[in-house]
Chains A and B, each alone.
Chain A
Amino acid sequence: MIETLLLDCEQTEGGQAILLRRPDLGARVDAVAMEDLPRVDLARYRGLLIGLHADQILLQAQRPQLERFLAGGGTIVFCGHVAHPFLEELRPFEPMRGYRLDDLRVKFERPHPIWAGVDAEHLTFRRGVAGFYGRGHNPPPAGAEIINTLGPQRRAVDFVCRPSAGGRLLVHAGADLWGYLEADSSASRMGPQLLDWIAAGAAA
């Protein structure tokens, strides 16, 4: 079964191009042009991947459609900075100002299947450079499970919550989690484990 739908924004490089072309993962993911979202029957899918290039003004307009999907038990994964909150649980991104290396360090606050076997150092640094994973946070709603944080201020770079509409919402305040598939580190585990987590449904 194709469990997950990805909203495609036609960028030539990056996570979606890799995800969709890898036989083991691409076979599990449908893609539709971002602009066609209003005409998609989301009830056919368990998961919806919304990446950093998404049109959040369109998502805001489609909030009832997204809430119906959640009410049916769907899982929405959003990666990026919230600019136009498109669900009740989302607040605008808060960037860190004048950050130092310590502010960018990723800390695992609690185990989660998507990050199982991933080394936090491999998220903090790519080729010795910090900052790719996150440089701020999307403020989580009350009651959210904070999974990973940044720096001594423990800004919630990853959280999961049960939206009021239903279903599950996972929010990552950085580049697409499926964009690490070709990383030569444990970070490459996140993409496949993300699809597995979606497939497992709300029991996971």
Chain B
Amino acid sequence: MTLAVLDSGTYYHHETIRGARYRDRFDKVIYAPTLAESDLDGVDALIVPDRTHPRVLRAKRPLLLGHLARGNTLIVLAETASHEWLPNVSWTFRPTNFWWWLERGADPGLRVAAPGHPLFGHLRGEDAVWHYHGVLHPPAGAEPLIVVEAPDGGGDHAGCLLYEDRASAPGRLIVSTLDPFYHHGSHFMPATTRFLDGFLAWTDATFRRRG
């Protein structure tokens, strides 16, 4: 079992992927602009980190969809314009509230929607709380994992921040509007480091050969 990750050449991908904390968490690092079909041979799961340049991903769409079509896993994080190149991804822009936590007792409304999912054996819901870049509307058959509730309980601002879709392709598609690679790799926002600790423990357990 092999887990690969794309690197778009940004400083924060370099720090998160090659830095001491997580460098052993990826079996293979692929420079996104030169991604070739042969790079994905034997790769079971591929992480497309947040902020991988959308222009590059649109150009690599056939390779990425082929990976899914062969029954493999694709994990796609925020600010990658995934709604432009992935199946059944519906995304709504929301102005990012970077400052919600300055208000005493503020609750940004994040909820774990599927506590039984194996991801939450490694990740605590509160470790997904920093901010998010728009919301997703999971298609029929997909499983919402982290959702955001509107402050007034109404549905207008509600949406999904992380879901798993096994219905749209033979493989597993995990989509999120969270951007942990950027913030951890920028030495800012400790919650993003806690998120990656849990998330990459789950990818270790699920997609990598151990021993």
- Whether A58 contacts B33 in the complex (CB less than 8 A), given A11-B51, A84-B9, comes out as yes
Q: Report yes or no: B55 in contact with A13, Cβ–Cβ below 8 A.
A: no
Q: Whole-angstrom distance between the alpha carbons of A107 and B33 in the complex?
A: 39
A8 closest partner in B (C-beta): B55
- Interface size of A by CB at 8 A reads 30
Surface stretch bound by A, among B10-18, B37-45, B143-151: B10-18
Q: Interface stretch among A49-57, A63-71, A113-121, A146-154?
A: A49-57
User: Which residues of B have CB within 8 Å of A82?
Assistant: 11
| Interface contact A136-B187, CB-CB below 8 Å | yes
Write out the residue numbers on chain B whose beta carbons fall within 8 Å of the beta carbon of A95: 187
A52-B179 Cα distance, complex, nearest whole Å: 15
Q: Taking the complex as formed, is A168 at the interface, i.e. its CB lies under 8 A from any CB of chain B?
A: no
User: Considering the chains assembled together, what is the distance between the CA atoms of A148 and B9 in angstroms?
Assistant: 27
Taken together as a complex, chains A and B put the C-alpha atoms of A138 and B116 apart, in Å, by 45
> Interface-forming stretch among A40-48, A127-135, A159-167, A184-192?
A127-135
Verify B53–A81 contact, CB threshold 8 A: no
Residues of B within 8 A of A34 (CB): 53, 55
What residues on A are CB-neighbors of B53 within 8 Å? 9-10, 34-35, 53, 55
**What residues on A are CB-neighbors of B102 within 8 Å?**
127-129
Distance from B121 Cβ to chain A, minimum over Cβ atoms (Å): 31
- Tell yes or no: B31 within 8 A of A by CB: yes
Instruction: Kindly list chain A residues whose C-beta atoms are within 8 Å of the C-beta of B81.
Output: 10
Complex formed: what's the CA distance from A12 to B51 in Å? 10
B residues contacting the other copy or chain, number (CB 8 A): 27
Indicate if the CB atoms of A35 and B187 lie closer than 8 Å.
no
- Please pick, from A33, A53, A136, the residue contacting B10 in the complex, using a CB distance under 8 A: A53
For A54, give the chain B residue with the smallest CB separation: B10
Residues of the B chain whose Cβ atoms lie less than 8 Å from the Cβ of A131: 188
A80 interface residue (CB < 8 Å to B): yes
Q: Is the interface of B mostly helix, strand, loop or mixed?
A: loop
Chain B 1-31 interface mask (CB, 8 Å, partner A; 1/0): 0000001111110110000000000000001
Instruction: Choose among A12, A53, A55, A135 the residue that contacts B93 (Cβ–Cβ < 8 A).
Output: A12
CB-based contact A58/B188 at 8 Å: no
Interface centre among B11, B55, B95 (most CB of A within 10 A): B11
In the bound complex, residues from chain B placing their C-beta under 8 Å from that of A27 are none
Cross-chain contact A83 with B99 (CB below 8 angstroms): no
Is B167 interfacial (CB 8 A cutoff)?
A: no
Q: Does B56 contact A (CB under 8 A)?
A: yes
Q: Is B79 an interface residue (CB 8 A)?
A: yes
| Nearest CB of B to A191, in Å | 19
CB-based nearest A residue for B189: A131
A93 within 8 Å of B by Cβ? yes
Q: A34 — nearest CB in chain B belongs to which residue? A: B53
CA distance A29 to B56 in the complex (A): 23
Asked whether, in the complex, the Cβ of A135 is within 8 Å of the Cβ of B188, the reply is yes
Within the complex, which residue of B14, B54, B56, B96 is in contact with A83, where a contact is CB–CB below 8 Å?
A: B14
Residue in contact with B54 in the complex, picked from A10, A80, A81, A93, CB distance below 8 Å: A10
* A12–B79 touching, CB < 8 Å: yes
Residue interface mask B50-70, A partner, CB < 8 A = 1: 010111100000000000000
Pairs across A and B, CB under 8 Å, 15 listed:
A11-B79, A12-B79, A12-B93, A12-B134, A52-B10, A52-B11, A53-B10, A54-B9, A55-B10, A56-B10, A57-B33, A80-B11, A81-B12, A83-B15, A135-B186
Extra contacts, 18 of them, besides A35-B33, A56-B11, A57-B31 (Cβ < 8 A), are A9-B51, A10-B53, A10-B81, A11-B79, A13-B95, A34-B53, A52-B186, A54-B10, A55-B33, A56-B9, A58-B33, A59-B9, A81-B15, A81-B186, A83-B10, A83-B11, A84-B9, A127-B102
